[in-house]
Amino acid sequence: MHALDWIVIALYFTILLGVAWWVILKSKNTADDYFLAGRHLGWFIVGASIFASNIGSEHLVGLAGAGATSGVAMAHYELHAWCVLVLGWVFVPFYARSKVFTTPEFLEKRFSASSRWLLSLISLVAYVLTKMAVGIFAGGVVFSTLLPELSWKIGGFELDSFWIGSILVVLATGAYTILGGLRTVAYTEAIQTFIFIFGSAAVTWFGLKAVGGWGELRSICGSDMFNLWKPLVPAGVQGTWSPVEVVEAGKVVKQAWYFNDNFPWLGMLFCAPIVGLWYWCTDQYIVQRALGAPNETQARRGAIFAGMLKLLPVFIFIVPGMIAFALAATGKSEFLRQHMFENGQVSNEKAQAAFPLLVQAILPPGVRGLVVAGLLAALMSSLAGAFNASSTLFTIDFYGKLRPRASQHELVWMGRIATAVLVLIALVWIPVVRGQQGLYIYLQGVQSYLAPPIFAVFFLGVFMKRLNAAGCLSALVVGFLLGAFRLAVDTPVLLKPQWFPGYEPGSFLWIINKTFFQYYSLVIFLVSALVMIGVSYATPAPDPERLRGLTYATVSERERLESRLSYDWRDIAGTALVLGVILAGYLYFNG
């Protein structure tokens, strides 16, 4: 790192903290302001904040790493930007009319308080175990790659660059989140969005220049890495059904775990949209920004803007990963080859650092500092979103229900205390995260086991008025138990403790573990949906008065007219543009 890089990074933190302090001074001491920014967020801030919350470790570490090992296959998930449009056109009207603070609160209005509590509890646990954990992991990876010599001794304990990076990201993010709530998070995320977009675009620009241009990149990587549709032609039934194993001397030396090596076409076709629609339309982590908009118009336009931004990671994260592979494979960068290859082939584990390695290898001083600031911006925005969403769920859905007479001031302070506790939990997570090299891959599968029952109850709930509280609660319980069972089966296989000998080939647990996580996720959804419909029709129908305005069949003519007047040709044109770019992407990346 050059002195100029440090100056740029210091300037980034100065601007960020300056904006955060300005927003904090404007904040009001009310729950509505702290948790939903007073419902005054405009479409630009909503869209940028949604996108910034989404961009986190899975992009900085996983997405670029997947680009280096698997090419554009992971672009499937980025091209699911259409899921954000579903938030704007399908769910925003319901959320806006109900004036809820959280998505579990909407579930209570539609079904029951029990459903709300269960969903809030599962979401809180999931945020701590996944979003915070992988955010910390990515922060440590970035710092240990770019600043390997950084260390700090405290008594007899030495903090290396991984520790310093993780602690810095957690504390800095926690500070402004605790003080300012969603308003501060949203405004800082809007700034961070354009910092990491510009910085990551610079990596793509300098990377293409180093590799010899787009045509040379395609030539080096080959049609296979530029093919989104390769999974549509699997190598027989085995390639479609279970993870591929490479066996040498009678021993399995490689297995296709989760996103890194294999993308079954059935999973991408059916399961990926379930996870995407859950995440973009019902997850508090994302939806809270739309809830902070003053009306349907601003919330919908924010979602459309977020959909446009969501298309960028293909070119600012996946393509840089492919560039890193190309530079290493051709020997144009001996530095990248040494750090990414083993025995003449790219290493899946080492490729996780492809993006920061590329930054270190090709960028000039000053630009490198800007990109590092962008990396920090992405990590901090992701963590801030997790802190804020978790704090809101705990305060509104638990504390507020237990103490219904709590003052606005008390709720705000409880939100701050909850965030501070989450920061401490995140700090405690650091040695756990660092100790398990496979943890990142494992955690990416967690959302595929949590998403199906939530997706089922929200989507079926607004489209089928006959479904009731008993059906909703049954679906959530059964779905979550199925997901927890798969996690329990997978955990010892991935972490490889000494006491675990492995599952007997052909046994029930062996089959469960070998089944693609996407297929298992699809089974959870189908079972949850059947349970919800079956239990609902076996029990009394819900009270029609309770459903007023909460399902499509019970929306009044006045409410329909208000929704119709909330959009115009600009919203339709923006939606068409996003869908057109998605279609173009699928047509172009065909090998």
If pLDDT is split at 50, 70 and 90, which confidence band does 58 have? Answer: low
Residues in the chain: 591
pLDDT band of residue 481 (cuts 50, 70, 90) is very high
260 pLDDT tier (thresholds 50, 70, 90): very low
Q: What's the rounded mean pLDDT across residues 557-582?
A: 94
User: Number of structural domains, the chain?
Assistant: 1
Q: Which two tokens stand for residue 578?
A: 């996003």
What are the tokens at 114? 């029990």
Q: Are 311 and 50 in contact (CB under 8 A)?
A: no
Place of tokens 């280096």: 68
Q: How far is CA 330 from the centre of its chain?
A: 33
Per the listing, tokens 């001491």 go with 29
Whether pLDDT at 244 is above 50: no
- Mean pLDDT on 76-80: 82
Please check whether residue 163 is in contact with residue 140, taking contact to mean a CB–CB distance below 8 angstroms.
Answer: yes
Specify the pLDDT at position 227.
Answer: 81
pLDDT at 317 over 70: yes
Is the model's pLDDT at 374 over the cut of 80?
Answer: no
Q: Are 59 and 317 in contact (CB under 8 A)?
A: yes
User: In degrees rounded to 5, what are phi and psi of residue 587?
Assistant: -75, -35
**Cβ atoms < 10 Å from Cβ of 18:** 11
Q: Is residue 263's pLDDT more than 90? A: no
Q: How far apart (Å, rounded) are the C-alpha atoms in residues 80 and 319?
A: 17
**576 vs 125 pLDDT, higher one:** 576
Helix (H) or strand (E) holding 154, with range, is strand 151-154
What backbone torsions phi and psi does residue 2 show, to the nearest 5 degrees? -85, 160
Token readout for 562 is: 């208000």
Nearest to 45 by CA among 309, 374, 284: 309
pLDDT digits (tens, 9 = 90+) for 576-588: 999 999 999 888 8
325 with 66: CB under 8 angstroms? Answer: no
The pLDDT confidence band at residue 265, using thresholds 50, 70 and 90, is low
Among residues 295, 353, 343, which one has the least CA distance to residue 320?
A: 353
Q: Residue 234 — pLDDT band, cuts 50, 70, 90?
A: very low
Pull the structure tokens for residue 132: 């915070």
Query: Burial letters for 340-357: b for 16+ Cβ neighbours within 10 Å, e otherwise?
Result: bbeeeebebebbbbbbbb
Q: Which residues of 227-247 are buried (b: 16+ CB within 10 A; e: fewer)?
A: bbebbeebeeeebbebbeeee
pLDDT (mean) for 378-395: 82
**Nearest of 398, 439, 365 to residue 146 by alpha carbon:** 365
User: What confidence score (pLDDT) does residue 233 get?
Assistant: 43
Crossing angle, helix 43-54 and helix 284-291, to 10 degrees?
170
* Average pLDDT in the chain: 81
Query: In which domain, by residue range, is 581 found?
Result: 3-588
The Cα angle at residue 412 between residues 180 and 47, in degrees rounded to 5: 45
Residue type, 244: V
Which residue type is seen at 260? N
Lowest-confidence segment of 81-95, 327-341, 532-546 by average pLDDT: 327-341
Q: What one-letter code names the amino acid at 213?
A: G
Ranking 81-85, 163-167, 409-413 by mean pLDDT, the lowest is: 163-167
Q: What pLDDT sits at residue 249? A: 45
Q: Token digits for 501?
A: 């000998």
Q: State how far the Cα of 356 lies from the Cα of 145, in Å rounded to an integer.
A: 6
Residues 349, 437 contacting (CB under 8 angstroms): yes
User: Residue 225: pLDDT above 90?
Assistant: no
Higher pLDDT: 226 or 257? It is: 226
- The pLDDT score that the predictor gives to residue 354 is 84
> How large is the greatest C-alpha to C-alpha distance in the chain, in angstroms?
71
Quote the CA–CA distance of 449 and 488 in Å, as a whole number: 11
Q: Which residues pair with 246 in a beta bridge?
A: 254
Beta-strand pair 157-160/151-154: antiparallel
- Which CATH number do you get for residue 319? 1.20.1730.10
Q: Rounded to two decimals, what is the model's pTM?
A: 0.84
* Dihedral Cα 362, 365, 367, 368, nearest 10 deg: 60
